[in-house]
Amino acid sequence: MTAEPGAVGTADGPVDELRAAERQLQAAQLAGDVEALDRLLDDRLVFTFGPDGRHYTKQDDLTNHRTRRQVTTRLVEEELAVLVDGRTGVTWFLGTLQGSVAGTPFQVRMRYTRTWVRDGEGSWRIVAAHASEVPAAVVP
């Protein structure tokens, strides 16, 4: 098992690769890059979000970005922890996002927990994710 500060173990190649994949995801979200998101999201993706705990799929996410229903205009990473164990990894992101959903503006501080798997070609893909709003007063 390998990790970076904020988890257990010491950073190495797989951790750095997963950290880079997480940041590629952030860049794709900010750019609305559907092709990059398609490569980073596993077809089996289950994303749990919102006060009602609804589940969303990869296709839901891609459609939101493709149609510009969801637009991210600002994404600021405050904290990123990474853990890798074999072909599985987890990232914990804390940051502020700004943009709009269905034309309604938002600015929110969020915590994302993402579970990644390394595919047969060595690329990291997200299979599960959960997001929760974090009050601005809460210190990481």
List Cα–Cα distances, 3 to 84, 87, 111, in angstroms.
6, 13, 18
Report if residue 74 sits inside a domain.
yes
Summarised one tens digit per residue, pLDDT across range 51-109 is 788 999 999 999 999 999 999 999 999 999 999 999 999 999 999 999 999 999 999 99
Q: What is the pLDDT of residue 54?
A: 92
Q: Would residue 11 count as lying in a domain?
A: yes
Predicted TM-score of the model (pTM)? 0.86
User: For residue 81, what is the domain's CATH number?
Assistant: 3.10.450.50
Q: How far apart are CA 124 and CA 14, in angstroms?
A: 10
Helical (H) or strand (E) element with 66: helix 58-66
Number of domains comprising the chain: 1
**Helix (H) and strand (E) counts in the chain:** 3, 7
In a domain, 140, yes or no: no
Distance CA 53, CA 37 (A): 22
Give the domain extent around 35: 2-133
Average pLDDT of the residues in 18-46 = 97
Q: 89 near 81, Cβ under 8 Å?
A: no
